[in-house]
Amino acid sequence: MSRFNTMVKTARLIVCAGPGGVGKTTTSAAIGLRAAQAGRKVIVLTIDPAKRLANSLGLDALTNEPQRIDLTEDESGELWAMMLDQQQTLDDLVARYAPDKGALSRSKENNIYRLLSSALAGMQEYMALDKLHDLYTGGYFDLVVLDTPPTKNALDFLQTPGRARQFFDDRVMKWFIPSKTAKKGLFTRVFDPGSVVLGLLGKVFGETFVTDLVDFFDTLSFLQDALRTRGEMIDFILRDPQTRFVLITSADSRRIKEALFFHEKLKSLDQHAEAFVLNRVIPRFDQEDLDLSTIEALGALLEDDNVEGLPESLRANYARLTKLSEHNRGIIDNLARQVGSDRLFTIPMFGEDVHDLGTLEMLGRHLTE
């Protein structure tokens, strides 16, 4: 059994990462489909806001809720898919942990909440972390396949669990949230830094802004413990032996370099890539395989005003493909020497876009057979 086949049958979490524009989402969907065909209950979660996952599954759209994909009756497993909705995930989190039922309504009316919940740096990674936590620990799915954004954002995601413990800096929070329990002396009441900051902000931006700001940090305060706990749990999950990392790239020197950079970053986080997938590889062409008699016969058969010079064009195109194929082979051999040939898997370039389960299965078979 190949390394990849073992992985789709035994892993609890497969994290697909790599450069942008190499077919990462489609490959993630293919991995999920192959695992479902092996009898497992699988969900593919994409953090990418584009509709690539939906398109590769032949759907118009996906939402923040798991959606079951129709497989043939012969399949014993289940395939589900969903696309992270950052705002909805945060709203769900507020509704779940708020001390009262009106907290979410108040948050949605808060200008700061509406603005920062989508624009705050790292918020997408925090919400992805929360959604991954729920899917992994929910108990229904055997395997979660996580489709991450391009390399830089994927690294941010991997480092988010550790940052979750620091995201809510207590020193800053205390500026905006008055302590309800601490007894303050006269000096502290007069020279309280939080009061000074709020007073200055009120003079510059107005009292409404300050009220919204205090309410926003008050909302975040009751999420603080929940996100910290979830961050610690995700940190544990990412280091679990049943978690696997797959780096997906193409036979392009620049993207190979980016994938290797990610590989080195993984090692610095005490993790490693279980497999490297080279997508859209030019199939092997060899000039010795060129059947000149067939080309001549085809040219003679089609020769008219519209196809004049056809044999020469075919030979030129074949020569160009041969050169590209040789270049791809050189890159693959070089990468195999660096990461090990047993961890290297290739998917040939298809002549069509992947937008149905049949093509997706064909793609997945290149990895597992």
CA distance 300 to 315: 14
Q: What is the pLDDT of residue 175?
A: 53
Tens-digit pLDDT string for the chain (369 aa):
678 999 999 999 999 999 888 999 999 999 999 999 999 999 999 987 778 899 899 898 999 999 999 998 788 899 999 999 888 888 888 888 877 777 777 777 777 777 666 666 567 777 888 899 999 999 999 999 999 887 666 777 777 666 655 555 555 555 555 554 444 544 444 445 556 555 666 666 666 766 776 777 776 677 777 777 888 888 888 889 999 999 999 999 999 999 999 899 888 888 889 999 999 999 887 767 766 666 666 666 665 555 566 667 777 888 888 888 899 999 999 999 999 999 999 999 887 788 889 999 999 999 998
Cα end-to-end distance, the chain, whole Å:
8
What three-state secondary structure class fits 141?
coil
CA distance 133 to 180: 32
What is the CATH number that goes with domain 3-181+191-367? 3.40.50.300
Q: What is the pLDDT of residue 87?
A: 83
Q: What is the pLDDT of residue 118?
A: 65
Domain ranges within the chain, ordered by starting residue: 3-181+191-367
CA distance 266 to 180: 43
Please name the amino acid found at residue 175: W
> How many C-beta atoms lie closer than 10 Å to residue 67's C-beta?
17
Q: What is the pLDDT of residue 205?
A: 60
CA distance 44 to 53: 9
For 199-268, give the DSSP string.
Answer: HHHHHHH-HHHHHHHHHHHHHHHHHHHHHHHHHHHHHHHHTSTTEEEEEEEES-HHHHHHHHHHHHHHHH
Please name the amino acid found at residue 347: I
For 313-339, give the DSSP string.
Answer: HHHHHHHHHHHHHHHHHHHHHHHHHHH
pTM of the complete model: 0.80
Q: What CA–CA distances, in Å, run from 351 to 20, 28, 31, 123, 207? A: 20, 19, 20, 38, 61
For 32-49, give the DSSP string.
Answer: HHHHHHTT-EEEEEE--S
Tokens describing residue 315: 């030979």
